[in-house]
């Protein structure tokens, strides 16, 4: 039996996904729950598992293709059942889908190429490459598992075809040269007097490049492919390449090479513009930032704190954490300090229900950590920070950050945040105006921790300092409140032992 499998809803509200890569090829044997594809949603890359035990019959989507949820992406031959009655893997409805009805009316057509010797198995990428290179994939000998045709096989076949064509072209040129060099011209092809050469005639003639021996020697000396030089002289109805044409072509090539060298020297090594698809997580970030910036009027408060004691405290606890296999950074201290301050300033741990005209004060503390990844900004959420000790927070945070960077994090691990921290200082810089992670009310930004001039007893000293930037939704929180909140956080960071009282 042929089992169709639709792209499932891999996350709440996801309408489509980009098929990043296939983890199987046609003909592969698979088991239930074995990952068969990687799909990128607007939040993360997820693995799509096989729903059955069987073998892969057909891959119906190309890598890089954006597929709507509900579209059939793969079909399976189910073990122990005949492969002639397609069914769709779906638990939502017992009614036949449009795809099922089409399959019922027409025999299933696989992209397995049938040859006199049997079936040829090839991955979609190999089939696509064959089409681009003009290679008949049915004539390609596969070297992959079970005789599967790989991209390398297709390229080898293409190179072989080019080599054969080159041999044939060389033989034709040698024959034409021999005829041209005979004193009386030999058996030259002729046209009726007054007739004009057609485009097809010109193309056929140009495959046999005619030139005098001296012209050929000149082309060799200049390193020019004679077949690429325009034929500018006609003799007895035949187009010949002249020495002047070779010289002009060589000069044009030299000018082009000089222009390329100038572009490289100027740093122009590629196209002036490049278009990159605006989709996936990049588009999601853009929409979220746009919504937040245009919905919540932002105000950003800046300040700096001297953190000598924080550095000493972290150094003392770092060894203890390492003994337990945990990497302790400064971030857990910041999380604890923020949560302690949020308890005294609850309107910063809130959201605005605009439909009902209510401010929702939250008595739980789920802190999001903004993480820069190769694919864009992601915000894993450490849940219930107020109920965890420093090492628990550190361990959980490190795991979530690693998942975010590997794109293995789940949607649930990035939801239900009540307040966010962003550490732009890890890259460099002191202050910023971070955008609120709407519908949250505030976001806390950390600058780079480094030594700066500090006045101590009327003397200027180099002390470790930490700049901070706090953006708030001015509809809910006033400037005085955010300043008081920031001052309390900084007090905890300046005297981290105060956190032991929390």
- Six token digits for residue 342: 């949020």
* 18-22, 266-270, 381-385: least confident range: 266-270
pLDDT at 276: 79
pLDDT at 200: 35
* 45-54, 98-107, 409-418, 430-439: least confident range: 98-107
Q: Closest Cα partner for 382 from 341, 348, 415?
A: 415
pLDDT at 128: 65
Angle (deg, nearest 10), helices 308-323 and 390-406: 80
Residue 467 has pLDDT above 70, yes or no: yes
For the segment 450-455, the average pLDDT, to the nearest whole number, is 94
Q: How far apart are CA 472 and CA 444, in angstroms?
A: 9
Q: Closest Cα partner for 389 from 326, 474, 441?
A: 326
Residue 92 has pLDDT above 70, yes or no: no
Confidence of residue 171 (pLDDT cuts 50, 70, 90): low
Confidence of residue 110 (pLDDT cuts 50, 70, 90): very low
Residue 311 has pLDDT above 90, yes or no: yes
Residues in the chain: 502
Calculate the alpha carbon distances from 315 to 66, 270, 399, 502 in Å: 48, 48, 21, 21
Confidence of residue 368 (pLDDT cuts 50, 70, 90): very high
Chain centroid offset of residue 145 CA: 28
Give catalytic residues, as residue numbers. 474
Domains in the chain, please, with CATH? 2-110 (2.40.50.100), 202-265 (4.10.320.10), 298-501 (3.30.559.10)
Q: How far apart are CA 431 and CA 114, in angstroms?
A: 64
DSSP line for 109-133: --SPEEETTEEE-B-HHHHHHHHHH
Read off the pLDDT of residues 420-445 as tens digits, 9 standing for 90 and up. 999 999 888 899 999 999 999 999 99
For the segment 444-461, the average pLDDT, to the nearest whole number, is 94
Under DSSP, is residue 184 helix (H, G, I), strand (E, B) or coil? coil
pLDDT at 279: 74
* 147-151, 163-167, 232-236, 237-241: least confident range: 163-167
């Amino acid at each position: 039996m042929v089992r169709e499998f639709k792209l499932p809803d891999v996350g709440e509200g996801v309408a489509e996904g980009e098929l990043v890569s296939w983890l199987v090829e046609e003909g592969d044997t698979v088991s239930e729950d074995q990952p068969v594809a990687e799909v990128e949603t607007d939040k993360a890359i997820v693995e799509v598992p096989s729903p059955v035990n069987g073998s892969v019959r057909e891959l119906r989507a190309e890598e890089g293709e954006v597929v709507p949820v509900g579209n059939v992406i793969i079909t399976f031959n189910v073990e122990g059942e005949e492969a002639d009655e397609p069914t769709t893997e779906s638990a939502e409805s017992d009614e036949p889908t449009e795809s099922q009805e089409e399959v019922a009316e027409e025999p299933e057509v696989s992209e397995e190429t049938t040859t006199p010797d049997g079936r040829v198995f090839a991955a979609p990428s190999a089939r696509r490459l064959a089409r681009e290179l003009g290679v008949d994939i049915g004539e390609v000998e596969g070297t992959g598992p079970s005789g599967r045709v790989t991209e390398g096989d297709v390229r080898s076949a293409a190179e072989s075809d080019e080599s054969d064509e080159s041999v044939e072209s060389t033989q034709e040129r040698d024959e034409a040269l021999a005829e041209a060099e005979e004193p009386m011209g030999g058996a030259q092809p002729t046209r009726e007097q007054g007739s004009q050469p057609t485009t097809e005639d010109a193309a056929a003639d140009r495959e046999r490049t005619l030139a005098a021996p001296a012209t050929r020697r000149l082309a060799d000396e200049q390193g020019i492919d004679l077949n690429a030089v325009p034929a500018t002289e006609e003799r007895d109805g035949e187009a010949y390449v002249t020495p002047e044409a070779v010289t002009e072509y060589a000069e044009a090539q030299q000018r082009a090479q000089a222009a390329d060298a100038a572009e490289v020297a100027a740093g122009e090594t590629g196209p002036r513009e490049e278009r990159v698809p605006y989709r996936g997580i990049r588009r999601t970030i853009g929409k979220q930032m746009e919504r937040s910036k245009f919905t919540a009027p932002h105000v950003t408060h800046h300040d700096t704190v001297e953190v000598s004691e924080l550095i000493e405290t972290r150094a003392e606890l770092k060894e203890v954490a390492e003994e337990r296999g945990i990497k302790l950074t400064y971030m857990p201290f910041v999380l604890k300090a923020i949560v302690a301050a949020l308890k005294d300033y609850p309107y910063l741990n809130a959201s605005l229900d605009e439909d009902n005209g209510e401010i929702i004060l939250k008595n739980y503390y789920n802190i999001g950590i903004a993480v820069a990844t190769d694919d864009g900004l992601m915000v894993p959420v450490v849940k219930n920070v107020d109920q965890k000790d420093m090492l628990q927070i550190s361990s959980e945070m490190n795991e979530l950050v690693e998942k975010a960077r590997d794109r293995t994090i789940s949607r649930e691990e990035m939801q239900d945040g009540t307040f966010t921290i962003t550490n732009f200082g890890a890259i460099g810089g002191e202050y910023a105006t971070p955008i609120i992670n709407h519908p949250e009310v505030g976001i806390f930004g950390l600058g780079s921790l480094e030594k700066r001039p500090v006045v101590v007893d009327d003397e200027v000293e180099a002390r470790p300092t930490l700049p901070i930037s706090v953006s708030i939704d001015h509809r809910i929180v006033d400037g005085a409140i955010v300043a008081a909140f920031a001052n309390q956080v900084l007090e905890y960071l300046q005297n981290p032992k105060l956190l032991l009282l929390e």
